[in-house]
Amino acid sequence: MTSTSHDEALQAGPPPVVGDGRALYDWLRRARDAGPVWHDTANDAYHVLRHDEVVGVLSEPLTFSSDFSSLAPPPEPGMPNFTEASLSVTDPPMHTQLRKIISQAFTPRMIAGLEPRITALATDLLDAIEGRDTIEMVQDIAAPLPVVVIAEMLGIPSDDWATFRRWAEYLLPDAADVTAGQFEEGGYAKTRAAELNEMADYLLAHVHDRRKSPKDDLFTRLVEATADGERLTDKQVVNFSVFLLLAGHLTTTLTLTNAVLAFNDSPGTLERVRADRSLVPGALEEVLRFRPPVSFLYRFTTREAVIAGTPVPPGKIIVNWIHSVNRDPRKFVEPDRFDPGRSPNPHLTFSHGIHYCLGVPLARLEFSVVFGAILDRYRALECGTPEFHQRPDIFGVTRLPVTLHRA
């Protein structure tokens, strides 16, 4: 089915995320029912809305590319180019080689070894709010933890964590700089040139240091990792560490807060998980399905393609809607119900195929440790009025007041 099957309201395009995104979800449901692909003729972009079709797109990286370098403006002179040869924006064969090397360093075993530190960090954060009835979930718990975990995992000294956290904020453009379908590097980066250069120099100094004096940290493992006789260059180690900050910081922060919201909106579910902790891992997957922090994944066609009968010429933007596929009734029973016990749960929030999120074990570990610690201390979490991010590509809150009820 093509755009001709979609009515005029649908042709107006996906509404911006306002509040909890209900209007967007409604639009996606109607668009998905009308057909698997919606052609946005105004922007000449193809929106893929159903689960099987998005899996199909993500499974063909040579036709549906992640390498947007030919579409992005040339890097500004004097600006660090963090996307150059970065894992998430490369295609095979370069992606295959990079991922092979990085996987030698960024292993599930290395992640599992972080558990005691994550537990200690979570305990510190919860001790700091001890005795308070109301907290602001983002600043008090959800935002500080993931960035410190990444800093510590890399081997950044604790004196520099506050600076590292500031850089993590700089890496994310303001809402006004990003609109759907627009490739984002550019204006924002210019205004932050000094900070981003400072960050690049700082990380490079660490890389140089580890080449000379190896330590027990991820910087050292990245510097030493080899596959087929190839190593990462200094620049590639810097770019990967920046990418870790980008990929692993806000996503995890949003997931922790999205979890609190999802439980709050579904009476009885928190009590159920609290009483049976074996449900925690499945509850995380359901939070990720129900309120995915990443709204969509871009690809672009390198050659003539056909998606569910819709021909797509080369050089076109493909918008793969995570919000839509995760609520596709062809895949999920009662997709609009938050069910922490849902199984199977083939959500696509971590993507699919060669770019499948490398940080999944870390995201799962952080969630189970932090959420478990919260459930140990509190029997109920009551949300006040949240404030939502206004960017179209991410979904979650900037502020969430929560009233705590001690166990």
87 near ligand HEM (CB under 6 A):
yes
- Choice from 181, 359, 386, 396 touching ligand HEM (CB under 6 A): 359
45/404 with CB nearer ligand HEM: 45
251 near ligand HEM (CB under 6 A):
yes
Rounded distance between C-alpha atoms, residue 107 and residue 339, angstroms: 31
- Tell me the window of 24-32, 164-172, 242-250, 394-402 that interacts with ligand HEM (CB under 6 A): 242-250
- Choice from 51, 355, 389, 391 touching ligand HEM (CB under 6 A): 355
150 near ligand HEM (CB under 6 A):
yes
Q: How far is the CB of 248 from ligand HEM (least distance, A)?
A: 3
258 near ligand HEM (CB under 6 A):
no
The CA-CA-CA angle for residues 126, 130, 136, to 5°, reads 70
357 near ligand HEM (CB under 6 A):
yes
Closest residue by Cα to residue 319 from 31, 47, 98: 47
Cβ(154)–Cβ(245) below 8 Å:
no
Q: Which residue is nearest to ligand HEM (CB)?
A: 359
Token pair of 313, please?
């010429």
Under rule CB under 6 A, which residues in 263-322 are in contact with ligand HEM?
Answer: 293-294, 297
Residues 6+ apart with CB under 8 A from 395: 17, 21, 254, 258, 291, 292, 293, 294, 295, 323, 388, 389
Rounded distance between C-alpha atoms, residue 10 and residue 42, angstroms: 13
Under rule CB under 6 A, which residues in 53-72 are in contact with ligand HEM?
Answer: 66
Strand partners, 227: 230
Rounded distance between C-alpha atoms, residue 321 and residue 58, angstroms: 12
Q: How far is the CB of 361 from ligand HEM (least distance, A)?
A: 9
3/236 with CB nearer ligand HEM: 236
Helices (H) and strands (E) in the chain, counts: 18, 14
Rounded distance between C-alpha atoms, residue 78 and residue 193, angstroms: 8
- Report the interface residues with ligand HEM, using CB under 6 A: 66, 87-88, 99, 150, 244, 247-248, 251-252, 255, 293-294, 297, 349-351, 355, 357-359, 362-363
